[in-house]
Amino acid sequence: RQVFDKDGFFCSGDAGFCNHQGHLFHRGRVSDLITYKGVKVAPAEAEEVLMSHPAILEAVVIGKAHPTDTQHCTAFVVRRPGSRVTEEEIAAFVNGQVDDMRKLRGGVHFVKSLPRIAVGKVIRKVLRT
């Protein structure tokens, strides 16, 4: 893959936007975007909602392959110790606060921990398999 484009700009693979005041907002990696019915969806919004739930310690959202919609948002969640929250409760919590493209149609999966590289970044491709 080419690191610099034809105009000399560095292609970092990051996704974000600039608001009307010139502030830059990082929304994640391009490779982390989820394709739902042909639309690219950033998982960050659903992850923010997940992390606002008091029973959730950590969470990440990835796209899982679906035969007709390309990908569905799927959550991997680490519960806080002693929490008994269910997959259905978490899905209802998130689905009531996000737009249609970010609903957790791929489900919620509880894990003991999220796979990470040495510096702490979640390895999303491990969760996709």
User: Nearest to residue 98, comparing CAs of 26, 29, 47?
Assistant: 47
The pLDDT mean for the chain works out to 93
Q: Write down the domain spans for the chain.
A: 31-128
> How many CB atoms are located within 10 Å of the residue 24 CB?
8
Query: At 74, is the secondary structure helix, strand, or coil?
Result: strand
Instruction: Let me know if domain 31-128 sits in CATH 3.40.50.1950.
Output: no
For 66-120, write each residue's pLDDT tens digit. 988 899 999 999 999 999 999 999 999 999 999 999 999 999 999 999 999 999 9
How many Å apart are CA 73 and CA 46, to the nearest integer?
Answer: 9
